[in-house]
Chains A and B, each alone.
Chain A
Amino acid sequence: MIGVVTMVLTDSLSVGMIRQMLTNQIGADAGYIQIHKKGYQENPTLKNSIPDPGEVRAVLEKDARSCNISERLRTFGLVSSANNSSGVAIVGVTPQSEKRVTTICKYIVNGAYLSGNTDEAIISTSTADKLKVGIGDKVVIMASRLDGSVGSEACRVVGIFETFDSGFDQSHVYIPLQTAQQMVGAQGRISEFVINPADAKRTDPIADKIRSDLPGEFEVLTFKQMLPLLVMQMQLYNETIYIFYAIIAIALIFGIVNTMLMAVMERTHEFGVDMAIGMSNKRIFIMVLVEALYLGVVGTTIGFLVSFAIYVPLSYSGWNLAMFSESLKWLGVGTIIYPTLTVSSLTNAIMVIPTATVIGAIYPALRAVKLQPYEAIRAT
């Protein structure tokens, strides 16, 4: 039972944490699909932005009709106040469409999200603290222009946001798209299209369709390609979890060996009588294994019941890990973890636990069949 509870809860919390990291990253900035000019992913500069997005818009009109789409201009520069300055990624967005593909608007802790006025900006809590600015204060945003000169805009802080990822927060500032284009002399240019399908499972087929309809000068990337480290982390977890299962199985086997050995020793007399009346070694061996299997099945069933009793409320309320908030922010995970139970968690527990109990019973079963009938009958 303990093995099942450990496996199910650990797995569901781990999967939940990783999925939250992925969802947070996708929701905060990456989106499910992005379209750039080819080469932008390796070298995200203004020169590699899309000069004429009309062609892309036409394809998206056909292939991504059910999706939410946003257009961005991204560059790198400085945000400054009278007190301090900070290097940031400056992201020019169209607020109404950006709200449909990212979740930054939900992380506003002070003020409001961009409304569309050209002199607005939203910055993170950490940036606001560094610059010593608040809502309504002016900041100067500066970046290199397309022609190589320096451009700047004065913006008023209308909103302050704080996401789960402190690293992300420190490095991003959002301003209206037109303001960004004007500041860097890139009118009409777009760095990236961000596309979120209505059904996330349709990401790959939609990306493939767009990719096949767009000319070769564009690159279409899914979140798996944009967040390779995170995806690799998930794959690594999916593979290394078996090591964890193996550790649990080994611990379980030792426990079962001990339990079944005790049972066999206590039933020495009974086995002796069974042998005397004609029970073969094979039957005795199988009997001990089957008893262990029953033990495993009953333990697994009870373990599942206990696991569900813990998992269901946790899946709604989440598990508050505020004491680890700093570390979790660096990982891009919130302080509340919502466990996620997968079919593989359940099937793995169903396979591992009873199998381990049977394996653990092999040695005690061998001890049972090695008993000498006349000695076993005399045992009390």
Chain B
Amino acid sequence: MPTAQSIGGIMESNNINHEIVRVEHVRKVYQDNGVPVNALRGINLTVSSGDFSVIAGPSGSGKTTLLNIIGTLDKPTEGKIFLDGEDVESKTRRQLADIRLRKIGFVFQAYNLNPVLSALENVEFTMMLRGIDSGERKRRALALLHELGIAELAHKRPNEMSGGQQQRVAVTRAISNDPRLVLADEPTANLDSETAIKLLELMEKLNRDDGITFVFSSHDPQVIERAHRLLILKDGQIVTDKRNS
């Protein structure tokens, strides 16, 4: 069922059946001290609009590698990646950076906020990269922080916030440019269980109310049990792909 999301005045229509990501026969081999390592062995998957998917698996199963490839941070050794129907293989680095800016939001395990910028400035940063003028991006950033319940952190720097607060700001930054997709790599790994649950509830709310598509990599049971769709990787292959009812 299509839903409309509106953040800061931009309207985005999400058709639940719209394919955002398509991964075709992706293999990734990298060299580890001269020894080839098969990180991914023939991955095929699609991610649809509105999905709340978790890629789980033991360490070394290829979760982060797959997320990096979907997010155009890395290139596959073989296979193709389609984002919003576009084959990213032929894109230049500049075009890929533009795709990441406009279509993908990232949430990292280590938050990765800019330590010299306040929460507000961190959220404004990606909007600044898009060329949105100062007054408008400040307005949108404040609205987002308010929506996520962390408006009081607007003028605080990361070293003045807890881990959970920093991750919330990171989530705010990730959605500030109305991305098609948010990729979260072990977002709860550095958080205590209570804080992790609150973060997950926030992301579920964004997924439910605003139709934002999330793809996580995680081995946290709290994350896995909330997944609408669970993909389990083992030794670079998808061994399980099921949707929770």
Contact = CB atoms under 8 A, between A and B. Distances in A.
Q: Chain A CB within 10 Å — which of B97, B100, B104, B129 has the most?
A: B97
A280 B114 CA distance: 17
B74 A372 contact: yes
B102 to A, nearest CB: 7
B82 interface: no
A277 interface: yes
Contact of B112 (A281, A282, A372, A377): A377
B93 A276 contact: no
Contact of B106 (A270, A277, A280): A277
A281 B94 contact: yes
A279 B97 contact: yes
B71 interface: yes
B98 A276 contact: no
The size class of the interface chain B forms with chain A is 20 to 34
A377 B114 contact: no
A276 B73 contact: yes
B97 A377 contact: no
Interface string B55-84: 000000000000010010110000000000
B129 A278 contact: yes
A278 B114 contact: no
Contacts of B102: 278
Contacts of B130: 278
Contacts of B112: 269, 273, 276, 377
A197 interface: no
Q: Chain A CB within 10 Å — which of B73, B106, B108 has the most?
A: B73
B97 A281 contact: yes
The size class of the interface chain A forms with chain B is 10 to 19
Q: Chain A CB within 10 Å — which of B68, B102, B173 has the most?
A: B68
Given A270-B114, A277-B126, A374 B74 contact: yes
Contacts of B125: 277
Contact of B94 (A270, A280, A374): A280
A374 B67 CA distance: 10
B101 interface: yes
B209 to A, nearest CB: 23
Contacts of B94: 280-282
A263 to B, nearest CB: 14
A276 B106 contact: yes
Interface in A238-283: 269-270, 273, 275-283
Contacts of A299: none
A364 interface: no
Interface string A344-380: 0000000000000000000000000000111001000
Interface in A169-216: none
Contact of A280 (B97, B108, B173, B177): B97
Given A276-B71, A372-B74, A283 B114 contact: no
A283 B131 CA distance: 12
Nearest to B104: A278
B190 to A, nearest CB: 15
Interface of B: 68, 71, 73-74, 93-94, 97-98, 100-102, 104-106, 108, 112, 114, 125-126, 129-130, 173, 177
Given A275-B73, A278-B129, A278-B177, 10 more contacts: A269-B112, A273-B112, A275-B100, A277-B101, A277-B105, A277-B129, A278-B130, A281-B94, A373-B73, A374-B68
Interface of A: 269-270, 273, 275-283, 372-374, 377
Closest 7 CB pairs of A and B: A278-B101, A373-B73, A374-B73, A374-B74, A280-B97, A278-B100, A273-B112
